[in-house]
Structure 1
Amino acid sequence: MSLLVLASLLLASCGGASGSHLDTIKQNGVIKVGTSADYPPFEYIDESGNRVGFDIELMEEIARRLGVTVEWVDMPFDSLIAGVQEGKIDASISAFNYTEERDQVVDFSEPYYMGEDAFLVAESFTGMIAAPEDVASFKVGVQTGTTQDAWLTDSLVAEGLLPEENLFRYDRADQAALDLKNGRIDVMMADYIPAAALAEQIGGLKIAYQAVISSGPTNIVIPEGDAELKQAIDEILVELESEGFIEALGLKYFQ
């Protein structure tokens, strides 16, 4: 047998043994999922120190139906996409909105939630926010790497409406909410449901304005080109939707 033929057989053997990413996940019995557990009611740490929330329960059920368990990896929100790209995690669920920019480097599951944006202010706030652009008159806080961050940067800062020094970016949404309560910023932009949850959790805050501005479909982040994992997750999401599981989760966490 020639060395060339032997090398070809060895390569074929190695390729066949490696299997797909989904095969590896199932063989290991674990899917590593990244999240940023600071965004109630999607993902957060409760008073007992447990990781809970809409996204957490949804992903746990998806994993159960895949026949595996979840190994949670808590990371800053703006590190999650890179974590999926670099293979540090198998997927990420953290109230991710689809964007064309993100879609260039990762893939997305089918949507499981549609959201709105909100501007959160202190209860003592006396300013006027009648349209999204009105926040350009204030000091605005936002979580780094979110679609809200992108909207504020592209639509207000880049257009010269909001001074760069008046846009404050935070690794964690709850840090921004605390600074808002303590008067270090005037307005915080976030998804509506987490904004309302933070207002209730921290106290002294209220929603001043809500609308679809930067938000849209919410999806699970999957490695670019991983068609098999995407198909498996999408099929389970369809099942969960048809069975009423996702609606029940919404009633549990969003009402």
Structure 2
Amino acid sequence: MRFVKLKTLFLAILCLGISLPAQGNSTLDYLRENRVLKVGIRDDAIPFGYRSNQGNLTGMCIDFIAILRQQILAEIGQDTLTIRLIESSLSNRFRLVEENIVHLECGPNTIRENTGFKITFSEAFFVSGTQFLLKTSQRTNINLNSDLANVSLGVLRGSTTEKYLRETYPEANLVLFQGNTGRTRGVQAVAQGNIDAMVSDGILLLGEGIVLGFDFNQTYTLLPSNPLTCDYYGMILPEDDLEWRELVNEAIAEFNTTQDQWLTEIRDYFNDAQNYCQSR
């Protein structure tokens, strides 16, 4: 299985930084005046944001930004808008928005009420949840209804998944990975037989596996087939900017009608996860 229709949006990056609006000014006012949209995007979250073989940021978030750009141009009545990408991470994504460094952050951000930051979320644009990536040959050795004693599970340090595993499977042997390449190294550890499974959001595990050339028909699998948790992803947005949030939500509504043109594997995963989580 391979990625198809990977689309890279060529972006003009400003050489000089432009400060974002002071508190009290709306994002759209800033965009009307400066015509520069600043977006936080991950490079470690396949298929949402990652580096292509040429080193360019690509992924579903790039496609979303292209749709959002058109929505903004129509709203502000202009014909030009420069996009500036700022690399975000699991640790700085909320701060980038709270400190007005970016206008939004696009990635696998689980919508929740208490983040400790002055931010808000858009409407959901994707749903995934906790799953185990393992070799199909190991499937009979991992019983999720047991305590998983002596089973080695890879997980990202400091993630909500680590907390979930410590609470649900305290007898499991957790192997912690960290940094932007942590998930990739965890998935590779499964392939090398160094751990029994890598645990994360299923869509992110699937994306990593596809890029690494995993055969999910025979050699590798996600367990269970439906996620253990249902985590809805939203864009991270500035707090108390309703007009901006409404415009982003309009772009998400359009994006949701086109995103199934991406990979067959991800389209099927999204539909299955969405149907399962909506039925819970």
The TM-score by the shorter chain falls in which range? 0.7 to 0.9
Q: Do the aligned partners of 1:60 and 1:69 also contact (CA within 8 Å) in 2?
A: no
1:141 is aligned to 2:129: no
SS in 1 for 2:101: coil
Would the alpha carbon gap of residues 20 and 121 (structure 1) be closer, same or farther in structure 2, given more than 3 Å must change?
same
Counterpart among 228, 235, 244 of residue 243 in structure 2: 228
Q: CA deviation at 1:86?
A: 2.2
Aligned-pair RMSD on alpha carbons?
3.2
Aligned to 1:169: 177
Would the alpha carbon gap of residues 104 and 247 (structure 1) be closer, same or farther in structure 2, given more than 3 Å must change?
same
**Alignment length, in residue pairs?**
234
Unaligned runs of 5+ in 1: 1-14
1:209 is aligned to 2:217: no
Map 1:1-255 → 2, pairs under 5 A: 19-67=25-73, 68-102=81-115, 105-122=118-135, 125=138, 128-131=141-144, 134-135=147-148, 137-144=150-157, 146-156=159-169, 160-162=170-172, 166-172=174-180, 173-203=183-213, 206-210=220-224, 211-241=226-256, 244-249=257-262, 254=267
> TM-score scaled to structure 1, two decimals?
0.76
Q: Distance in 2 between matches of 1:215 and 1:103?
A: 22
Q: Distance in 2 between matches of 1:149 and 1:41?
A: 22
Q: Distance in 1 between matches of 2:36 and 2:177?
A: 34
SS in 2 for 1:88: coil
The residue type equivalent to 2:236 in the other structure is V
Q: Distance in 2 between matches of 1:91 and 1:57?
A: 15
Q: Distance in 2 between matches of 1:136 and 1:63?
A: 50
Q: Distance in 2 between matches of 1:201 and 1:132?
A: 31
Q: CA deviation at 1:93?
A: 0.8
The residue type equivalent to 2:133 in the other structure is L
Q: Distance in 1 between matches of 2:265 and 2:137?
A: 30
Would the alpha carbon gap of residues 197 and 136 (structure 1) be closer, same or farther in structure 2, given more than 3 Å must change?
farther
Q: CA deviation at 1:103?
A: 7.8
Q: CA deviation at 1:127?
A: 5.8
Structure with bigger helix share is: 1
The residue type equivalent to 1:232 in the other structure is L
Task: Please tell me whether Structure 1 or Structure 2 has the larger radius of gyration of its CA atoms.
Answer: 1
Q: CA deviation at 1:90?
A: 1.8
Quick one: percent identity of the two aligned structures? Answer: 20
Q: Distance in 1 between matches of 2:33 and 2:264?
A: 35
Q: Distance in 2 between matches of 1:206 and 1:110?
A: 32
SS in 2 for 1:102: coil
SS in 1 for 2:93: helix
Q: CA deviation at 1:240?
A: 4.0
Q: CA deviation at 1:236?
A: 2.4
